[in-house]
C-alpha cells in the first residue's frame, strides 16, 4: 500500500511501557500535541471540538492503511491544564458528544478507557473493528440490491 502520511510520537509522558514492544507502531494513535503530516487531502473534522486527533488518525489509517508512530519518543505538553484551545470547551458533555461521533464514524475501533474517564482506546484492525467493517459492507450490498430491485419494478 501507499506509505503513511501521518507520523508522531508516543502519547504518554513516559514510553517505558513500550520498551518490550516494537519501537514503531503502524496502527496506533497519533496525539495532536505533536505530529507531522505529509501532503494529503485528509483534513480535521471541524464538527469535532475534542478528540479530533483520534478522528484524524483514523482518517489516515483508512486512506493510507498505516501511520508511523515512534514509540521511544514522547512530548511533554500541557494537554489538560493549559489555557485556551480545547481546554476551554472540555467538559463531560462535550467529551461524550465527541466520543459518540468517533463511535459513529469508526464502528468497532474505539472502546472506553476504564482507567481514564472520558477517554477512549483506539484499536484499529482489531476483531471488533473487522466485524463492524464486514457488517457495514453487507448492509451496503443489501441496500444496493434492494435499490436495484425497486428500480426494476418501476
Among residues 58, 28, 64, 29, the alpha carbon closest in space to that of 132 is found at 58
Question: How far from chain centre, in Å, is Cα 68?
Answer: 14
Tell me the pLDDT band of 51, cut-offs 50, 70 and 90.
Answer: very high
The span from the CA of 67 to the CA of 58, in Å, is 9
User: Which of 4-18, 55-69, 77-91, 117-131 is least confident?
Assistant: 77-91
Strands of 2-138, DSSP E = 6-10, 24-25, 35-37, 68-74, 110-112, 120-122
The tens digit of pLDDT for each residue in 66-100 reads 999 999 998 887 765 666 556 667 899 999 999 99
Tell me the pLDDT band of 144, cut-offs 50, 70 and 90.
Answer: confident
More confident residue, 79 or 20: 20
Cell triple for 56:
484524524
pLDDT in the model for residue 82: 60
pLDDT in the model for residue 24: 94
Question: How many CB atoms are closer than 10 A to CB 41?
Answer: 7
Amino acid at each position: 500500500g501507499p506509505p503513511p502520511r501521518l507520523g508522531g510520537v508516543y502519547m504518554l509522558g513516559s514510553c517505558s511501557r513500550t520498551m518490550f514492544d516494537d519501537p514503531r507502531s503502524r496502527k496506533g494513535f497519533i496525539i495532536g500535541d505533536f505530529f507531522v503530516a505529509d501532503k494529503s487531502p485528509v483534513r480535521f473534522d471541524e464538527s469535532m471540538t475534542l478528540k479530533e486527533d483520534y478522528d484524524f488518525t483514523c482518517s489516515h489509517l483508512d486512506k493510507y492503511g498505516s501511520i508511523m508512530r515512534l514509540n521511544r519518543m514522547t512530548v511533554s505538553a500541557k494537554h489538560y491544564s493549559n489555557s485556551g484551545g480545547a481546554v476551554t470547551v472540555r467538559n463531560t458533555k462535550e467529551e461524550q458528544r465527541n466520543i459518540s461521533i468517533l463511535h459513529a464514524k469508526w464502528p468497532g475501533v474505539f472502546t472506553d478507557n476504564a482507567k481514564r474517564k472520558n477517554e477512549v482506546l483506539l484499536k484499529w484492525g482489531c476483531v471488533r473493528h473487522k466485524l463492524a467493517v464486514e457488517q457495514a459492507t453487507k448492509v451496503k450490498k443489501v441496500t444496493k440490491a434492494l435499490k436495484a430491485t425497486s428500480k426494476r419494478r418501476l
